Amino acid sequence: MIEITIISVVAVAVFVFVLVKRLTTEEELDVYYDMSETERHHHKWGYTDTEFDFDGPKSVKVSGNRYPISGYSMPSLIPFVEDMLGVTINPDDKNVENEDDDIPEPEINEAFFSSIKANFQEEQFSLDSKERLIHSHGQLSVDEIYRILYGTSLKRVVDLVVYPQGEDDVKKLIQFANQHDVCLVPYGGGTNVSGALACPVEEKRMIVSVDMRRMDRILWVDEENYLACIEVGITGKQLEIALGEKGFTTGHDPDSVEISTLGGWISTNASGMKKNKYGNIEDIVLEATLITPTGNVETKSITPRNSTGIQPRWLLFGSEGNFGIITKAVLKIHPKPKIRHYGSLIFPSFEIGVNFLKELHQSSVLPASIRLVANIEFRLGQALKPKPTFWKAQKDKLQRFFLFKIMGFKLNEMVACTIVMEGTKAEVHQQEKSIYHLAKKYKGISSGAANGKRGYMLTFAIAYIRDFFNKYYILGETFETSVPWNKIHQVTQSVEKELHVQREKYNLPGYPFLSYRVTQTYHTGVCIYFMMGIYVKGLDRADDVFSEIEYRLREVILENGGSLSHHHGIGKIRQKFLPQIQSENSLRVLRKCKKAMDPQNIFGIRNGAFN
């Protein structure tokens, strides 16, 4: 009897201990992209350990284990793409990558190069042809990557690559370039999709790429005031690892976070997926240092907000390498969230999903990220799943019966939202309660945290799909815009309609692919992110035709009330549209500012207003 009592007491004690531990232990934050660093592809997107490839006649697999999408067969992706494009994809019928890059010999300014050799270590500069080509492009799909891999390569590449290791190196480099009339081009992660790194063909001076990635240090952290001063060559991944060790985050989370740099974010005026909670880059950066041929542009005091006249720092956002080199920035930082929850919802149609997002944004409860994926992209996401197990297949049948027979959803109309909520437990639980309560008003149905997490993480792997389909004569590109709430459907429907007009005009084989999603919401509107794909086998001037079609779609976006860009920037592919959105005097003022900072046009990359 005594033994039973002792056992009971021990059991109760153990139960109480476990219960208390559960109540007092914080949930461990998941890591939603791979933190390891391995070799990057020279020209294609991402890392060499990750690649789509056939593992059967109609099945593909992603190599490695970097992403949740890696390591399993996807039997539905190829049939889905074939059905959408109206073509047959044969594993044996593919483009062959160029063996030779046909890189022109470098133009060397001997006086400048002598100064570099005398003042920099040998490992801080390179004339290697492959390095020069890598530093001469971003990730513009057709005009850069496709042409390098399968076309006629690039007509002009940088002549030298220099790797500064600190501000003194940057100042010396600018001094020598100014003295000897050499063109400098800042380089970060090389992820831009606007042609911003393309060397002007008409540039006769020596062009030098300034690779900033060795300037990747956190200079100081002010934990009391939630500030950090950071060199701009740091990648998003490096930044989050370093700040995370101190218990902080910036919260800036673009699709390219693994590879893109702080300097690139500032110079393109970037936006991240969790901007609802942390803001866009212009909200995160309080101050930055720009070194120009005529001196530094920076503010000497850092305060939460000030009214001290016109602030030159605004010239840095969207500057795209035209004014000088950004070397460091002071950022807002936040304590790492206590918990992170994912969620997902499905709605009967895109229109209903938009109405839900609009009302949600007017409420006081917003998750860190919420994205609405239109029907075609929703089905693409479903096609990226593995073949279900027996029991999973039975569960899916029950879910489809409920959705289609009982709730009246239609496969070719339904859409999905992926949600990320983070903060304290109370904040996250309140967000969950409010979001799902509001969703019921719009016939929204929860499809689970696992689908939400998977949908969010797919963002980091989906760029690899472009390079896979390029092999099989399918060219793809993304483009984005911001629009007022009342112009969303007008813009998306007009783009869809015009794409079919362009199909007839160019007599395209098969059908063009177009999907879109709402990635960010604002008080007055949203960002819409488009993906377009065209099958081009047998089509003359395929790369030119693709670019001409994309240009026309951009015209349609502007004609129907959309912006020129939400976060990709202008670069060179959108320069011709600037007179439509800026007054002549506005452009003149910008050019006068450049003349004041860079009178000899040392930073002659000619992006945006400076073509």
Residues with a known catalytic role = 529
Question: Which residue in the block uniquely carries the two structure tokens 């160019």?
Answer: 506
| Nearest one of 169, 86, 74, 81 to 123, comparing CA atoms | 169
Three-state DSSP state, 390: helix
Alpha-carbon distance of 511 to 143, in angstroms, equals 21
Helix axes 425-441, 350-362, angle to 10 degrees: 140
* The one-letter amino acid at 284: I
Cβ atoms 260, 191 nearer than 8 A: yes
Residue 514 contacts residue 557 (beta carbons within 8 Å): no
Please state whether beta strands 52-56 and 339-347 pair in parallel, antiparallel, or not at all (unpaired): unpaired
Q: Closest by alpha carbon to 399, among 465, 367, 447?
A: 447
Radius of gyration of the chain (CA): 26
Task: Write the DSSP assignment of 516-569 as a string of letters.
Answer: EEEEEE-SSEEEEEEEEEEE-TT-TTHHHHHHHHHHHHHHHHHHTT--S-SSS-
What DSSP assignment string belongs to 463-529?
HHHHHHHHTTTEEEEEEEEEEEGGGHHHHHHHHHHHHHHHHHHHT-SS--EEEEEEEEE-SSEEEEE
Pairing of strands 369-373, 513-521: antiparallel
Q: Taking each helix axis from N to C terminus, what angle separates 167-180 and 110-119, rounded to the nearest 10 degrees?
A: 160
Query: Rounded to whole angstroms, how far apart are CA atoms 2 and 457?
Result: 56
Say whether 327 sits in a helix, a strand or coil: strand
Number of other residues whose CB lies within 10 A of the CB of residue 2? 6
- Count the neighbouring beta carbons within 10 Å of the beta carbon of residue 370: 27
Q: Can you spell out the DSSP letters for 115-151? A: HHHHHS-GGGEE--HHHHHHTT----IIIIIIHHHHS
Contact status, residue 596 vs residue 526, Cβ threshold 8 Å: no
Residue 350 host element (H or E): helix 350-362
- 3-state DSSP call for residue 377? helix
